[in-house]
Chain A
Amino acid sequence: MTEVRIAGVGLTRFGRHPDRTGRDLFAEAALRAFEDAEVPRADVEGLNYGNFIGALAEGQGHQAPLMAEAAGLRCPATRYEEACASAGVAVREAVRTVRSGEADVVLAGGMERMTHVDTPTTTRGLATAADDLFEVRSGVTFPGAYALMARAYFDAFGGDRTDLAHIASKNHANAVDNEYAQYRREITVEEALDSPPVATPLHLFDACPITDGASAVVIVSEAYAEEHGLDAPVAVTGTGQGTDRMALGDRESLTETPAARDAATAAYEEAGIGPEDVDCAEVHDCFTIAEVLAIESLGFAAPGEGIRAAREGFTTADGDLPVNLSGGLKAKGHPVGATGAAQIAELVRLLRGDHPNSEHVDDATTAIAHNAGGTVASAVVHVLEVAE
């Protein structure tokens, strides 16, 4: 099997870009990735592009060829859509393509533009990640779905809003120095607790923001990296994907995300490692409770124990296992279709030592990315390791 390296990464600043087109955002991220990789665009053999609600929010479908054009690529281009896991799947398929020997260079990434439409329209767009017939028609919003899980979790295991507020506070603190983050300011636990309710028990500061932004990662074969003398120290050593019943109510448990567990199991097995080997993680904290469920699925905490991880300092920047050193979706922002590749980009920077928060993980060699779609009916997990 061909070994896979990440030659370069590129992000736009995450935040509000209502006056910029999606194609301009993606072009910025892509060109930055090529510059970082020192790979000529002419060598790219495929574009794997993630986007979720472009047809609704921008009136623009068929975005992959548009983005290939914007990034200066002439190669087969495909859009991947698994709600918030779209770019994670785009990365995974790029890894699989390079591994198979079918291509030496694939650009994977994504873009989402959401801030130019009003909150009800965005809420409706994001709700399309849920089951239209049996959830959305019964008033399920995206925050509402995670709220249903949060209350079930509290009931099953204990925990409270203060535990969740510590996750929000931690991720905001991590974003302060990240030049790409949407919210580069700290929030206190009290501020998070005092924010207005969105879908109880979740309040505004339990939720990631609405974000515009793009991400891109240049994925190459080890042979290509060696042949061209690339500085590409980070390898993708494991990838996994899981799928679950679409509607939350149809799952066996309302407090677990087995799709993420399945994805993690596969990724760990490929990499030949376990949770104990991981030095840092980027997980899909679209809501604070989602970080809890993520770290339990990844094996960092037993079911029912993840709720205390941030409050007890286990997952803080100086903890045993820093989680979301980028600021996470919560504070870095969540341009939905770009997020999965953005997580990879942040981990690459952390492992290479050129991330503003690299100092917290200066001996790190192994990292994991967890990207989830909907209420984790889809999940993608990647293991990254420093190969040289």
Chain B
Amino acid sequence: MSGSNAEGADEATRTGFDAWIDALDAGEGYYLESPCGHGSLPPRRVCPECGSTDLTERPLPETGTVETFTVVSVPTPTFAEDAPYVTAIASFGPIRLTGVLRGVEPDDDVIDLGLDVTVGVERRETDDERMVVFRPA
């Protein structure tokens, strides 16, 4: 059970994503780069910006920068026990990641845009599924 939208979906459709999460979990997170320098996230065969199929794995920068965030108090069922929680979008070089920001109070007044964060994999409180998590660098 994925615990995402696709409850009951064939796990085989997720192996490309799972491989990426495994790598991130092992401290070897990566993105895909086209010859033009566009970044994107796997699983992917074609660069969505330039159309190149020549995609190379590049290591994620060690820290990213929070560009926006929200404190969510009305969650989907799979985040029921996690709420309130913070979801943020952070830039890591040429790509952005969307993840749950931990290690801060879920409070608008204490979180600053521009916060430097690291990225890793942690588990949801609700159902123990893995997810992308940021923590203050």
Interface hit among A10-18, A64-72, A195-203? A195-203
> What are 29 A-B contacts defined by CB distance under 8 Å?
A120-B75, A121-B77, A124-B77, A133-B4, A134-B97, A134-B98, A135-B98, A136-B4, A136-B76, A138-B132, A139-B75, A139-B76, A140-B98, A141-B76, A143-B72, A144-B72, A148-B88, A152-B68, A155-B113, A196-B73, A197-B73, A198-B73, A199-B74, A201-B108, A245-B48, A247-B98, A250-B40, A250-B48, A250-B96
What per-residue 1/0 map shows which CB atoms of A246-270 lie under 8 Å from chain B?
0111100010000000000000000
Count of chain B residues near A, Cβ 8 A:
39
B71: Cβ under 8 A from any A Cβ: yes
What per-residue 1/0 map shows which CB atoms of A290-311 lie under 8 Å from chain B?
0000000000000000000000
B60: Cβ under 8 A from any A Cβ: no
A281: Cβ under 8 A from any B Cβ: no
Task: Enumerate chain A interface residues (CB-CB to B < 8 A).
Answer: 119-121, 123-124, 127-128, 132-141, 143-144, 147-149, 151-152, 155, 196-202, 245, 247-250, 254
B99: Cβ under 8 A from any A Cβ: yes
A144 to chain B, nearest CB (A): 5
A14 CA to B95 CA, complexed, in Å: 41
B residues less than 8 Å from A140 (CB atoms): 87, 98
B residues less than 8 Å from A245 (CB atoms): 48
A133 CA to B3 CA, complexed, in Å: 11
Q: Is the CB of A139 within 8 A of B82?
A: yes
B26: Cβ under 8 A from any A Cβ: no
Q: Is the CB of A137 within 8 A of B82?
A: no
- Closest chain A residue to B132 by CB distance? A138
A residues less than 8 Å from B14 (CB atoms): 133
